[in-house]
Amino acid sequence: MSAAATNGNTLKVRYFDIDENPPKNYLNAESGLKSWLFTVDHKRIGLMYLASIALFFFVGGVLALVLRTELFTPAENLMNAETYNRIFTLHGAIMVFLFIIPSIPAALGNFLLPIMLGAKDVAFPRLNLASFWIYSIGALFTLASLAVNPIDTGWTFYTPYSVQTGSAVILMTFGVFIMGFSSILTGMNFIVTVHKMRAPGMTWGRLPLFIWAMYATSVIQVLATPVLAITLALLIMERTLGIGIFDPALGGDPVLYQHFFWFYSHPAVYIMIVPAFGVISELIGTFSRKTVFGYWAIAMSSLAIAFIGSLVWGHHMFVSGQSELSTVVFSFLTFFVGIPTGIKIFNWLATMHKGSIDMKTPMLYACIFLFLFTIGGVTGIMLGAISVNVQLHDTYYVVAHFHYVMMGGTVMAFLGGLHFWWPKMTGKMYSEFWGRISAVIIFIGFNLTFLPQFIMGSQGMPRRYYSYIEQFQTMHQLSTIGSYVLGIGFVIIAVYLAHSLWKGEKATSNPWGARTLDWMTSSPPLQHNFNYQPVVTNGAYDYHKPISDFTLGISDDVYHGNDHEGDIRKQSAETV
């Protein structure tokens, strides 16, 4: 027993030993299909999301390889223009709506957020399950559109093409509409959880940076997604009733549609990247074994990005025919996102300085992330410069830009996070050797795929072309070969991760020596995360303190039997 002294009030806490091999954990506490499909346990829900997004990443990735194969030569190799259009639309839509938006928040976020806060679950566990089901239903609709008449509008659904085309626009957009609600509910749930469910002593200044990032992301999700919903609803009405708000043939304005769409979809790119920033903060802190440099700068820059990122949507419309005035304003605002982002990058580097750096697979991904995302980010600045954007808009330069930020940024961070938390989620260690090998293969394959796209883009190769003039062939072939290398990299990952499940070494509770609460419970965690109510007295990255300082807690029954529990929470939050 130790007493954390507070001014006047004393809160009785004690050190708990971490349970290394509890007989029951969240994976085997209940069994049967039903115990998964109807679980309200945030960890199981997180895993179900993980499985779904892995599936959709695979589907989207295979579609990408098909695209690349078609583009190997200018002639028609595999498919005609119509089919190609459907495939890139599906690739884009699946990757964006079914994979990347739910990826880190819904899979890793769900799993980790409550544990990191020292809570037993998210604030609304049933709502959480509901959002998984809503996501699944939305996904079913999108897949149904595949069976009916795959959509060919591009993932942006621009009017009037999306009103005129014969493909299954309604099914697809309705699916995305539904999935939007899943995203909104997850965001709401997380915001409330962060506000209300923190463990005693978990002040705002002690939150892990991953939580700060998830918080900023959730704010964007709640803010922007409803606008996507209404946009798609109007698009559906446009097709069914011909209401004429977006369709010029009925008196509408197509550029207005673009405002509506990008008002969501630009902030959405920060829904994709900000959680990745959170993961990177954890990885760099842990593997440098050093207090994260500029904690507040990193935490607040996430919110700054969320805020500024909401004002810049028009940079996708510089040549769309919007007014010159708004073009200039949007360009001006666009650059400002670069500043908080830069702050993060420099703070991470400063964290590595004088650290004790262990280049394990997750850290390798973090470094790859820093490199690739910087390229993606600065090319974003290039695109934001109006005069240059006129040349680069809707060319492969843009395609390269967004793959560098989404694939090179978010997916790399996701892979880093996946490897980092794999032992925690499954209780098994993967092969470090193969982990590093595949990271290197992916790094090489990625650059081979997308660097040439910058060059052909600035030379004028338009995007969404199924054939092209011969001048661009070399670049396209390099890119196609690169994408196959990428594919091989992912196959290796799939193999050794699967292998680790059967044959992997057992993981200890804290294989990386991290300090956040997720590492203060067994691997895999207990069904209710902890045997005790954690009490927090240190920052999330206080590597100068002994690890035992991080296992303080109050025994659960004592805690719940207490008459003044609400008060304790308050006092300890302020004074412990």
Closest CA to 212 of 190, 183, 227: 190
424: amino acid identity, one letter: K
Single out the residue of 250, 311, 345, 573 in contact with ligand HEA (rule: CB under 6 A). 345
372: amino acid identity, one letter: L
Distance from chain centroid for Cα 174: 22
| Residue closer to another protein (CB basis): 347 or 426 | 347
| Residue closer to another protein (CB basis): 388 or 492 | 388
Give the residue carrying structure tokens 């290197």: 440
Q: What does the alpha-carbon distance between residue 372 and residue 376 come to, in Å, rounded to a whole number? A: 6
Interaction residues for another protein, span 444-483 (CB under 8 A) = 455, 458-460, 462-469
Q: C-beta of 127: minimal distance to ligand HEA in Å? A: 26
| Residue closer to Cu ion (CB basis): 392 or 439 | 392
Binding segment for another protein among 6-14, 171-179, 224-232, 434-442 (CB under 8 A)?
224-232
Q: C-beta of 395: minimal distance to another protein in Å? A: 7
Mutual angle of helices 432-459 and 473-503, in 10-degree steps: 160
Q: Rounded to the nearest 10 degrees, how much is the dihedral formed by the CA atoms of 300, 306, 312, 316?
A: 130
Q: Does 294 bind ligand HEA (CB under 6 A)?
A: no
Q: How far is CA 262 from CA 155, 182, 257, 292, in A?
A: 12, 19, 9, 34
Interaction residues for another protein, span 120-179 (CB under 8 A) = 120-121, 123-125, 127, 152-154, 158, 160-161, 164-166
In 128-167, which positions are buried (b, 16+ CB within 10 angstroms) versus exposed (e)?
Answer: bbbbbebbbebbebbbebbeeebbbbbbbbbbbebbebeb
The phi-psi region of residue 429 (left if phi > 0; otherwise alpha if psi is between -120 and 50; otherwise beta) is beta
| Residue closer to Cu ion (CB basis): 72 or 335 | 335
Single out the residue of 169, 179, 411, 536 in contact with ligand HEA (rule: CB under 6 A). 411
Spell out the long-range contacts of 465-468 with Cβ–Cβ below 8 A and sequence spacing 24 or more. Answer: 466/70, 466/71, 466/76, 466/79, 466/80, 466/81, 466/84, 466/85, 467/74, 467/75, 467/76, 467/81, 468/71, 468/74
Q: Does 209 bind ligand HEA (CB under 6 A)?
A: no
> Taking CB within 5 to 8 Å according to partner kind, which of Cu ion, another protein, ligand HEA, none is near residue 272?
ligand HEA
Q: C-beta of 485: minimal distance to ligand HEA in Å? A: 9
Q: C-beta of 410: minimal distance to ligand HEA in Å? A: 5
| Residue closer to another protein (CB basis): 374 or 477 | 374
417 in Cβ contact with 108 (< 8 Å): yes
Q: How far is CA 441 from CA 365, 418, 479, 500, 512, in A?
A: 12, 17, 15, 20, 24
Q: Does 434 bind another protein (CB under 8 A)?
A: no
> Taking CB within 5 to 8 Å according to partner kind, which of Cu ion, another protein, ligand HEA, none is near residue 255?
another protein
Q: What does the alpha-carbon distance between residue 491 and residue 209 come to, in Å, rounded to a whole number? A: 31
> Taking CB within 5 to 8 Å according to partner kind, which of another protein, ligand HEA, Cu ion, none is near residue 243?
another protein
Q: Which residue is nearest to ligand HEA (CB)?
A: 61
> Taking CB within 5 to 8 Å according to partner kind, which of ligand HEA, another protein, Cu ion, none is near residue 195?
another protein
Binding segment for another protein among 18-26, 135-143, 190-198, 484-492 (CB under 8 A)?
190-198
Collapsed DSSP state (helix, strand, coil) of residue 402: helix
Interaction residues for ligand HEA, span 367-406 (CB under 6 A) = 374, 377-378, 380-381, 383-384, 389, 393-394, 398-399, 401-403, 405-406
Q: Does 494 bind another protein (CB under 8 A)?
A: no
| Residue closer to Cu ion (CB basis): 43 or 266 | 266
Q: What does the alpha-carbon distance between residue 462 and residue 396 come to, in Å, rounded to a whole number? A: 6
Q: Does 395 bind another protein (CB under 8 A)?
A: yes
Binding segment for Cu ion among 67-75, 146-154, 202-210, 259-267 (CB under 5 A)?
259-267
Interaction residues for ligand HEA, span 97-156 (CB under 6 A) = 99-100, 154-156
Binding segment for Cu ion among 20-28, 182-190, 260-268, 439-447 (CB under 5 A)?
260-268
**Nearest-5° Cα angle at 243, 241 to 245:** 150
Give the residue carrying structure tokens 């739910």: 102
* List of residues contacting ligand HEA (CB under 6 A): 58, 61-62, 64-65, 67-68, 88-89, 91-92, 95-96, 99-100, 154-156, 269, 272-273, 315-316, 334, 337-338, 341-342, 345, 374, 377-378, 380-381, 383-384, 389, 393-394, 398-399, 401-403, 405-407, 409-411, 449, 463-465, 479, 483, 486-487, 490-491, 494
